[in-house]
Chain A
Amino acid sequence: ETGVTQSPTHLIKTRGQQVTLRCSSQSGHNTVSWYQQALGQGPQFIFQYYREEENGRGNFPPRFSGLQFPNYSSELNVNALELDDSALYLCASSSDWLLGTDDNEQFFGPGTRLTVL
């Protein structure tokens, strides 16, 4: 069984640029959630994708967008980067949100460290 993978490991961008982060879900998982973790803070929910549709969104502006592909991998896109977007971005996959949290453990990837200068 392959775990959640994310790419790239880290990257540096400048203000105003756009970035795409990628996540491959764990084998058998069809639900992907994205979180932003600023330095010294806990992860904050950005949005979730289930079977290629957005299924819940946190308090993030529209310049944060995502995609999920038929193989359930996912992308997080951030446009017009701001300094405050500097953070660790975590992807988590789970088997099926319809199962509820009893059987729906979220498995996290190692994260992508984004630095905006």
Chain B
Amino acid sequence: AQRVTQPEKLLSVFKGAPVELKCNYSYSGSPELFWYVQYSRQRLQLLLRHISRESIKGFTADLNKGETSFHLKKPFAQEEDSAMYYCALSGVDSSYKLIFGSGTRLLVRP
């Protein structure tokens, strides 16, 4: 079955510390992976996708097909990074539906 696992419900770090939000997936084909973010009182929005291989707001994520992982990283966390982060995959059928993990709340302390 297709599944996305985010093992940490909460990740708390101090400002300036490195951040790594973990995401593992199970999928038999070649999925497309995404990170979505939801800031307080805002709607869910796309942060980055693996296919674009870009850095957004200092965040990067590398797809590791061998380990079936797509961890989100940032070298120096900022307070404004505090939010709910969801890993998602797509490509399971023609509708390109998104399958989400349960999310990780990132709290960056001053």
Which of A's residues lie within 8 Å of B, judged by CB? 4, 33, 35, 40-45, 48, 50, 55-56, 58, 90, 92, 94, 97, 100-102, 104-111
Number of A-B contacts (CB under 8 A): 61
Q: Of A90, A97, A100, which one neighbours B44 at CB under 8 angstroms?
A: A90
Contact (A101, B91) CB under 8 Å given A41-B102, A42-B103, A43-B100:
yes
Contact (A56, B46) CB under 8 Å given A42-B86, A42-B102:
no
Chain B residues 2-31 with CB under 8 Å of chain A are 4, 6, 9
B49 touches A101 (CB 8 A): yes
Q: Which range holds the interface residue count of chain B?
A: 20 to 34
Contact (A45, B43) CB under 8 Å given A101-B32, A101-B90:
no
Shortest distance between the CB of B86 and any CB in chain A (Å): 5
Q: Mark B52-89, 1 if CB is under 8 A from A, else 0.
A: 00000000000000000000000000000000001010
Shortest distance between the CB of A16 and any CB in chain B (Å): 29
B97 touches A56 (CB 8 A): yes
Q: Of A48, A55, A105, which one neighbours B46 at CB under 8 angstroms?
A: A105
